[in-house]
Amino acid sequence: MPPAPTRAQSERARRSGATEAMLRRNVRLRKEYLYRKGLEGKERASYERKRAIKQALEGETGFSVCNQKDGATSGAALQKG
């Protein structure tokens, strides 16, 4: 168990309890926002990769080297969606 807080620490915690809670809430909300934005980017990249592969298979565009690498991993994803 951690040692008991000193009197000065407990007084500081009492005075700034609301401020500390507000800061923790802001940190949590910021982390959640960044997590959601990161997912959007990953989903967008995945969608663009699948779209490029579909176009190449339909003969609309050529098949670039980076698409060839992604094609092996995204082939199953094309069949699903």
- Residues 1-43 have pLDDT tens digits of 677 777 777 666 666 677 888 999 999 999 999 998 888 888 9
The pLDDT-based confidence of 55 (bands split at 50, 70, 90) is confident
DSSP assignment, residue 60? Answer: S
Ramachandran quadrant class, 59 (left: phi over 0; alpha: psi -120 to 50; beta: rest): left
Domain ranges of the chain: 7-80
Does pTM surpass 0.95? no
Give pLDDT, residue 28.
Answer: 93
